[in-house]
Structure 1
C-alpha cells in the first residue's frame, strides 16, 4: 500500500480523531455530502421518472407513432387511410415495433339531462391492444373490440363521467354531424371508465367499436382511418419514425406521439433544465464544504505536517495524504445519503406517498425511475469533482515551513 493512502487511513479512522477540534467540521462536511446525495438522487429519479411516465402515457393511449391519411388535414375526423404503398406487414416486422392497431375517429357530442360534452369517438377493431389499455382503467372493462356488428359498449374518461354524472352500465346518447347531412344519433352503454391524467386526452376521447365510426364516416368494411404503432421502447421513437415513414406510402404520413402534444413536450423539457440546475447547486455546496474541511484539517494538523516534512515526506505526498483523508471523510456521508435517498424513493415507488395535481403535472403520483447507472454516477461524480477541487487548496501545504510548523501549537 502506498504511504499517502496508508497514512490517510490511519488518521481518518484513528480513535484520537474523535475528540479533536475537527469533529464538528467533519460532521458538517459529511452532512453536506449526505444531503447532496439525497437531493440529487430524488431530483434525478423523480425527474427522469416523470418524463418517462408522461411520454409512456401519451404513447400507450394513442400509439408511439400514428399513421394517418394526408386528406385528414390534422382533423379529428378520419379520412380513409390509403393502401397505396402502405406496407403494414413490413412495419410490424421492424425490430422495435411491438404491435399495431387500426382505428377510425370522429368528433361528436355526448348529451344527457345533466350536461353535454364535446368528444372524439375513437373506434377500434379486433387488433385493439386491450392489455396495454388496461393500465388506464379504473372501473369496468374495455369495449369488445370486434368488427362484426355494432357493439354499443364504450369506455369514457373519468373527467367525462364526472361532467355527465355517468357510471358503468349507464346509457348515453352521442350526436355526430356531417356536412350537408342530418345529425346522426347513437345510443351507447358505458362499460368502462379510464383515466390517463393527461388533460388533452381525458377531456375528449372515448373508445368504442370501429364499425360505428365507419358507419358515421361512410367507410366500407375493412377501411380504416389510421394505424397506431406501438414501439418496444419510447426512447427509440426518433430513430424509428423515419423507418416507418418510408413504409406508409405517399398518400399517408406519420405523427410521433411526442409531436402530437407539443405543449406537454415543452413541459417535459423543463425537467432537464431543473435537474441540471439542482445537480450543479448540490455539487457547488458539497465542494465548498469539502474544501472548507480540507483547509481546517491542514490548519489543525500543521504540527503533523512539519513532522512529516522533517522525516523526509515530500509536499506531494503530504498533499496526497490530506486529499485522501478528506475523501475518506466523505464516504460515510455518501453511504448514509444513498441509504436515506434510496429508502425514500423505494417508499414513493411502491406506496405513492406524494400525490400531484394532474391538471398541472399530467400525473397524479410522483413517479420514480431507479436507474443503477445514475445512482452510481451521482456518488462517483461527487467523489471525482471533490477530488479535483481539492488539488488547488492542498498547495497550501507547500507554504508551511517545517521549523515553524513543529513550533506551532
Structure 2
C-alpha cells in the first residue's frame, strides 16, 4: 500500500480502534453530505417544477395558438385553414379550429363564470384524453354534453352524469331587451384534471358544432390549436404563420401564452448561484477546518515522519488523501440521501402545495443523473483544492519544533 495513503488512513480513524472514524472525520463527512444533498435537492426541485409545469402546459395547451386580436372571431376559417396547412408543410400533427366564449354556469345556488370552448373530436382525443380522470370524451354534435375541470366540479358539487345550466350571450354582446341571453342545460360526461388549478377552474369543453349553435356563429372561429411534430420548431413555425396570415390573426407559442408562469419559474432559479456559493464555502471550511485540527493533533507525528525521511511531497499527499477520502464519503452519502428523499417525495407526495399559487399540488422533484454526476465531480475538485491549503501548512512544519510541540 502507498506510504502516504496508509498514514492518511490511520489518521482518519479514531485512536481507540481502527474500525471507527474519529469524531472530527464524522462531523466533516456529515457536513459535506448534508451540503451535497441540499444542493442536489435544490436543483432537482427547480428542475422538477420547470419540467412538470411545462409538461402540464403542453399536455393541456396546443404548441401554437392562432386567435384574433382583442379576442375577435376569425372570418373565413375554411380558406385560412388551408393557408395554415400549406405553410406548415407536414410539420404538424394536428390543426384544430375552436370556438370559445365567456359564459355563466349555474347549479342550484352556485354561479360562476367560465370559458366554454367548442372543440373537434381530434383535439379532444389528442389533448383532453391524456388528462381525463372521470367519464369519457362523449362530445357528440347532436347532444348537449360538457367536460369540466375537477376543481370546477368540486366547486359546483357535481359529478359525471349531473346537469348544469349554461347562460351565454348572443353574438358575445351584453344582454338587452333586443338581445336576450340563451340558457341551455348540459350533461357532464367527463371531468379532467390538468394538475394546474387555474385551468381546471375556468375551462369547460363542448362539441364544436354545439358551440356554433348556442353562440350563433356560422363561418367564424375563435382560433386554431396547432400541435407540431418537433417542439424545437415551434418558434420558427409560429413566426412563419404570423408573417403570412392577415389581420386580425395573432399567432403565439405556448410559452408566450403562459409567460407569467415561465417568468415565475425563471425567478425561482435566480437565487441558485447564491445558494451554491454558500454551500461550497461551508464545504471548503469543513474540509480545511478538519484537516487543520488534525494537523494540530498530529504535529508531533508529522515531526517524527519528517525526521525519519518523509519529504514534503509525501506529507502533502497524506493530507490531500485524507481530504479526498472525507469528501468522497460525504459526497456518496449526500447523493444517497438526496435520492432517497427525492424518491419518497415523488412516491408519497409528503410536501403538498396550494395549487392555486404554485400551479401544482405537490413539490415535484426531477431525478437527473447528470445533476448528481456534475455536483459530485464539482465536490471532488473543490475537496482537492481545499485540501491543498492545510497540506502545504503541514509540509512546512520543522521536525525539531514539531517533536517538541507537546
- Counterpart of 1:206? 204
Query: Residue 16 and residue 214 in structure 1: after superposition, are their counterparts in 2 closer, same or farther (change >3 A)?
Result: closer
Of 11-20 and 270-279, more deviation after overlay is shown by 11-20
Runs of 4+, deviation exceeding 6 Å: none
- Structure 1 position 10 matched with structure 2 position 6: yes
Q: 1:118 aligns with which of 113, 118, 121?
A: 113
Q: 2:86 and 2:126 mapped to 1: Cα distance?
A: 22
Q: Is the 8 A contact 1:101 1:129 kept in 2?
A: no
- Counterpart of 1:294? 291
- Counterpart of 1:282? 279
Q: 1:271 and 1:292 mapped to 2: Cα distance?
A: 33
Q: 1:27 and 1:262 mapped to 2: Cα distance?
A: 47
Q: How do 1:220-299 residues align onto structure 2 when only pairs under 5 Å count?
A: 220=218, 224-230=221-227, 236=232, 240-248=234-242, 249-251=244-246, 252-299=249-296
Q: 2:113 and 2:152 mapped to 1: Cα distance?
A: 9
Q: How do 1:138-217 residues align onto structure 2 when only pairs under 5 Å count?
A: 138-144=133-139, 149-177=141-169, 178=171, 179=173, 181-217=179-215
Gaps of 5+ in 2: none
After superposition, the C-alpha distances for 1:57-104 in whole angstroms (9 at most, x for unaligned) are 122212232122xxx2242x643457188332553733xx55443322
TM-score by length of 2: 0.85
Query: Residue 15 and residue 320 in structure 1: after superposition, are their counterparts in 2 closer, same or farther (change >3 A)?
Result: closer
Q: 2:285 and 2:307 mapped to 1: Cα distance?
A: 31
Q: How do 1:26-175 residues align onto structure 2 when only pairs under 5 Å count?
A: 26-68=25-67, 72-75=68-71, 78-80=73-75, 81=77, 83=80, 86-88=83-85, 91=88, 93-94=90-91, 99-130=94-125, 132-144=127-139, 149-175=141-167
Q: 1:304 and 1:74 mapped to 2: Cα distance?
A: 81
SS of the residue corresponding to residue 13 of structure 1 reads: helix
Alpha-carbon shift at residue 156 of structure 1 (Å):
0.9
Q: 1:273 and 1:233 mapped to 2: Cα distance?
A: 29
After superposition, the C-alpha distances for 1:29-67 in whole angstroms (9 at most, x for unaligned) are 100111112212222222211121112212221223212
SS of the residue corresponding to residue 246 of structure 1 reads: helix
Alpha-carbon shift at residue 231 of structure 1 (Å):
5.2
Q: Is the 8 A contact 1:171 1:187 kept in 2?
A: yes
Query: Residue 395 and residue 73 in structure 1: after superposition, are their counterparts in 2 closer, same or farther (change >3 A)?
Result: same
Q: Is the 8 A contact 1:102 1:127 kept in 2?
A: no
SS of the residue corresponding to residue 155 of structure 1 reads: strand
Of 167-176 and 244-253, more deviation after overlay is shown by 244-253
Query: Residue 13 and residue 230 in structure 1: after superposition, are their counterparts in 2 closer, same or farther (change >3 A)?
Result: farther
Of 337-346 and 25-34, more deviation after overlay is shown by 337-346
Query: Residue 369 and residue 93 in structure 1: after superposition, are their counterparts in 2 closer, same or farther (change >3 A)?
Result: farther
Q: Is the 8 A contact 1:47 1:275 kept in 2?
A: no
Q: Is the 8 A contact 2:61 2:127 kept in 1?
A: no
SS of the residue corresponding to residue 18 of structure 1 reads: coil
Alpha-carbon shift at residue 125 of structure 1 (Å):
0.5
Alpha-carbon shift at residue 7 of structure 1 (Å):
3.6
Query: Residue 229 and residue 288 in structure 1: after superposition, are their counterparts in 2 closer, same or farther (change >3 A)?
Result: farther
Q: 1:328 and 1:299 mapped to 2: Cα distance?
A: 19
Q: 1:294 and 1:341 mapped to 2: Cα distance?
A: 26
Of 312-321 and 170-179, more deviation after overlay is shown by 312-321
Alpha-carbon shift at residue 364 of structure 1 (Å):
0.8
Q: Is the 8 A contact 1:291 1:389 kept in 2?
A: yes
Alpha-carbon shift at residue 174 of structure 1 (Å):
1.1
